[in-house]
Amino acid sequence: MNRHTIRYALILIAALAVAALAVARFDGLCSIFSTVWSALEPLAIGAVLAYLLNFIAAALESRWFPRSNSALVAKTRRPICVILAITAVTLALAALTAFVGGEFKSVGAAIITGVSEAAAMASQAIANLPGAQTIPILDNATWNSIGQKALDAMGGTDQALRIVAQTSGEVAHLTLSILLGMVFALYLLLDKDRVHAGAMRAASFIPGETLRRRVLHACSITNDCFSRFIRGQCIEAVILGALCAIGGTILQFPYAASIGLIVGVSSLIPFAGAWIGGIMGAAMILSQDPVQALQFIVFLVILQQIEGHLIYPNVVGQSVGLPSIWVFVAVIAGGSLFGLLGVLLGVPVISTLRTLAMEHFAQEDAEQDSGEESDTAIQPAITA
């Protein structure tokens, strides 16, 4: 038994021991991972925000006086472009909130009015029935008893207060994580050259030049696939939102422009997002005309079929270099295994793995062809 075999056997034994320990102490490991994630959550949020904002900031940097030799322009180019990127995103979100918020306000008022009128009519109709005074549902004492039983089922007032306090704590923690993440994202964007240099220095600790080169190449492919996926997803959202708004206008649905905007923004979530926006749109139309709300649902089902089978696989699939069937499989499998995160990341992850696998197979084929050519060249020499 040589030294390499002993080494691999020891590595295998150590891996099996670690796996057995992880299974035996699974609850403890989950607690440790939860604590570590809670500490690193702001950094993760900041990294994601910086990655997304960098698309806009990098595009602005390439167009901000690119031929200028001024030291002042070179020094201020990045801070100005980062500020412009953040300002653009903030203004877009504010415009979206203002545009849709006004519609939701009127929709909410219409829904409340409609529900109140329906409740008043139902109460009046029930009150006119013979023996209506003996119906328990009209008795205030009955409603008080139901409320008390519901409170007791929750564990009493103390338990309800604990639930409220826990929920408030989680919301406060998430808000603080987002705020800290935004600050961290700003630092990453302003100092991304040094961050990249630090990442390259960290990669120098990877043993072996070949392994280091493969890891860096895999990171480059991953970044390229995710970048193209985000661009394709944005293009698909614009197309779907525009089709929904145009179709709603032709069919004379109320709030057509607002619903198209909501469907377009929500469709950034692959496949399921358009349905989320469609439910909101149906609720908005329902406040005006229930029949048109049903018509909108039928229209959305048809549009969603077109989007799911034609627009999304072709637009997003071409962006990441995946065939349509692979896009569909990535979204379905990712959602089934990892929920919403799998739906969001399934396509770029599959695209990355497929690209790396195709490169590996292409390299093997090239080496095999090279070996065959060498054998063919050597054979005549031997014969001679």
Residue-level pLDDT at 132: 53
Residue-level pLDDT at 84: 92
Confidence band of 126 (pLDDT split at 50, 70, 90):
low
Long-range contacts from 74-81, C-beta under 8 angstroms, 24+ separation: 78/189, 78/190, 79/190, 81/57
DSSP H/E element including 323? none
Q: Do 241 and 264 contact (CB within 8 A), yes or no? A: yes
Residue 250 has pLDDT above 80, yes or no: yes
Q: What is the pLDDT of residues 324-362, one digit of tens each?
A: 677 777 777 777 777 767 777 787 888 888 888 888 788
- b/e per residue, 333-350, with b = 16+ CB within 10 A? ebbeeeeeebbbbbbbbb
Q: Do 351 and 278 contact (CB within 8 A), yes or no? A: no
SS3 (DSSP) at 288? coil
Residue-level pLDDT at 152: 62
Count CB neighbours of 214 within 10 A: 14
Average per-residue pLDDT for the chain: 77
Tell me the C-alpha distance between 363 and 371, whole Å.
12
Count CB neighbours of 218 within 10 A: 15
Q: What is the pLDDT of residues 176-209, one digit of tens each?
A: 888 888 888 888 888 888 888 888 888 888 887 8
Residue-level pLDDT at 382: 53
Minimum mean pLDDT range among 122-131, 209-218, 231-240, 296-305: 122-131
Minimum mean pLDDT range among 100-109, 279-288, 356-365: 100-109
Tell me the C-alpha distance between 133 and 246, whole Å.
53
Confidence band of 273 (pLDDT split at 50, 70, 90):
confident
Residue 268 has pLDDT above 70, yes or no: yes
Tell me the C-alpha distance between 202 and 189, whole Å.
19
Residue-level pLDDT at 141: 56
Tell me the C-alpha distance between 50 and 186, whole Å.
7
Tell me the C-alpha distance between 258 and 102, whole Å.
10
Residue-level pLDDT at 140: 53
